[in-house]
Structure formats: C-alpha cells, structure tokens
Amino acid sequence: MKGMGIMNELMKSAAYGIGMVLLLSCQTGLKENRVIDDRPPAFTYYYQSLEALKAGELEKALVQLDSAILLRPNYSQFYCVRGHILQMLNRPDSAVAAFEQCLRYRSYNPEVWLKLGTLYLQQKQFAKAAYYLKKSIPEYPDSVDLWLKLGKAQVLSGRAVLAREALANYSRKTAVPPLEYWKWWGIAHYCLKNDARAIAALSRYVKESPRDVEALRYLGMALFRSGEYDRGLSYLNRVLQLNPDDVSVYVYRARYFMRFHKPHAAREQLELALAIDSTHVPLLLELGRFFIQQDQYERARTYLEKARTLNPRHWEVYKYLGRVFEQENNLATALKYYTLYLDNTIQLDTDIEHRVQQIREKLERKE
C-alpha cells in the first residue's frame, strides 16, 4: 500500500510535464472528443516506467526510466523516481546518487532531503545525514522522530553539543521517550565529559538492552573515567564477550593494569590488540604512551609516528611525540609538535604549556 501511495504521488507530480491536446472532429457530422497524446518521447518512457513500477516490475521500470533520462537528462523528477526504484531494489548507494542528482536540478525538495538523511544514516555517513535531516525538520513539524534521528546523526558525527540540543527537543516533544533515546542521550553526555548523566542514561538503556556493544562500551568508559575502575571494566569485559575483536577494550584493560602497577599485564593486552588491528590509531597512541612510561623512547616514537601517518589530525599524538623529542633533546622539533597539539586542543593542558615555555627559554639562551 505504501508503494501505491508513492506511485500516485509520482503520477501527480509529473502531470505538469505532459501536454495533452483536445481536438474536435466532425468526420461523422457529430462532435467527438478525441484525446491525442503529444507527450515527448522522454515522458512516454517515464509513464511506461510508472506502469511497470505499479505492476511490481522494478527492473523493467528502471530500464524505461533510464531511457527517459537519456532523452531528457536535466529533469529532476526522473531522478527522484529512479531513487525510489533503487531503494526498492535495495541499492542504497545508487539511490543516494539518484537523489543527489535530483537536487542538482531542483534544490528545494523536502521529500528527497528526508530520504537522503535516512539513507546516509543507514550508510554511516553521519555528517551528511545530519545535514539533510536538519533541513527536513522545518518541513515536517509533526514528525517528532526526526529529532531523534538527527540527535543520533549528530552524536555519531562528533557534534555532541548539537546532538544534546536535538535530543532535548525530542524529549520535550514526546511524553515518554523510547529506550533508544537514552542510548544517544548517554553517549552525547559521555562525549561532553558529563559522566554522571552518561552513566545514568546508559545504565537505564543497557538494563533493557544488555547486548548492545556500543552502549556497553560507552558505559564502561564513562565509569572508568569517573574513577569506578572495577565496575567500568566489568562492562568492558561484557563487550569482549560479545565482540572479542574490540580493540578499544584491550586499551582500557591495559590502562587498568597500569593503574595498579602491572606493566607486564598491560603490555600483554596491548600486544593482543595489536595482533587484531595494527592500524588502530588510539591503540598506537596508547602503545606510545606505554613505552614513554617505560622510558623506551625509540619504541614509543615508532608507534607514535605510525599513528601520525595514519591520522595526521589526531592531535594528542603530537603531544607525546613532543615528549619523545624533548627527551632526545631535539627541542625545536619538540616545540613544533607541542605547539601543534596546543593550537588544535580546546582543553587546557597546563603541563604542556609549561614545557613549551621552558623550551622557548632554552632555545632563546642558545641563540
């Protein structure tokens, strides 16, 4: 029934592109109405596509529509329908391309914005999903769930403040938020370093969804950061039971052992993680930190340089590279890395600022 509703809307939206001429014929001496179809060939193919779509012949509908596009490539509605068909054929990448093409020829199209927001969310392109969902919300004021989708997209695109705003709007518009709300509300607050709220929300969520790996991980990390190490580790261990290849959990287990002065056990955890994924940047950073603590600066430098190569915008890496070069008395390079770190970090780091000041004074004395 949903497909038929879409079909009817598509038929209506294309009607203005077709010219129908009504002629009078007196061949028999009587007035007779005859409808002559003067549709351009492109629209003939288009309507044949809609008929095939109505009959459930999706591949045939796509072929007919592609013929219409070939004859008239700048008609936005053709791409809109193509996107619908490709969605029904479960070809999301191609559907996205069709909808984006539709917007090139007709930028104002709330229906397509909404579809793109949903498709990008499914494809884990969260920044694009958030962009289109945000555009859609004023056009669909009664669709409260759009605020929840937007909050999720904002969380996963790293925009925790905007996520909190979207989720707060959603909460105000619904009497009883569904369970999923507490997951994204909790993760948003974890990203904002509001661990008390994160723990409360995520605890509420995992009580009903005990096998959600993502929620368990964030709950464990929030507890760990708030100083509840044993409780936090218990949730992180549950993550490993469900997903033995979760590298981030091994990193936290290593931190746990280091906190209790067990470097050998910590190193074992990091080596297990490295065997799973040798390109995981937070793991490489943790290995760098570990070997700095063990005064093994060459080994630390190896892992930190690899992390920098893989992700030059992971700014914390530069903090520890600065430590390595400072220890090696390469003060100019240490200063360069410390400055990169400070220039791209919002949070105050008084230790590094103090080190920068000391290095500048030393370099001035050398001059």
| Domain positions in the chain | 1-107, 321-367
Give yes or no for residue 42 having a pLDDT over 70.
Answer: yes
Distance CA 300, CA 256 (A): 20
Please state the pTM of the whole predicted model. Answer: 0.82
Question: Considering only CA atoms, which of 293, 283, 360 is closest in space to residue 327?
Answer: 293
Give yes or no for residue 24 having a pLDDT over 90.
Answer: no
Q: So what's the architecture of 1-107 in CATH?
A: Alpha Horseshoe (1.25)
CB atoms within 10 A of CB 145: 12
Predicted confidence band of residue 39 (pLDDT cuts 50, 70, 90): low
Give yes or no for residue 356 having a pLDDT over 80.
Answer: yes
Distance CA 253, CA 266 (A): 7
Report, as an integer, the average pLDDT of 215-231.
97
Distance CA 80, CA 96 (A): 10
- The partner residues of 34 in beta bridges, in order of sequence, read 23
| Measured CA angle at 297 (ends 294, 302), to 5 deg | 115
- The partner residues of 107 in beta bridges, in order of sequence, read none
User: Which amino acid makes up residue 245?
Assistant: D
For residue 253, the model assigns a pLDDT of: 97
Q: Which pLDDT tens digit goes with each residue over 301-343?
A: 999 999 999 999 999 999 999 999 999 999 999 999 999 999 9
Distance CA 241, CA 238 (A): 5
- The partner residues of 32 in beta bridges, in order of sequence, read 25
What tokens does 171 get? 């909460």
Give yes or no for residue 40 having a pLDDT over 90.
Answer: no
What share of the chain in percent tops pLDDT 70? 89
Give yes or no for residue 189 having a pLDDT over 70.
Answer: yes
What tokens does 270 get? 């990091």
**Region for residue 162 given its phi and psi (left: phi exceeds 0; alpha: psi -120 to 50; beta: otherwise):** alpha
Residues 6+ apart with CB under 8 A from 99: 79, 80, 83, 112, 115, 116, 119
Predicted confidence band of residue 11 (pLDDT cuts 50, 70, 90): low
Q: What is the mean pLDDT of the chain?
A: 90
What is the DSSP annotation of 137-177?
A: GGG-TT-THHHHHHHHHHHHTT-HHHHHHHHHHHHHH-SS-
Report, as an integer, the average pLDDT of 160-183.
96
Distance CA 136, CA 117 (A): 8
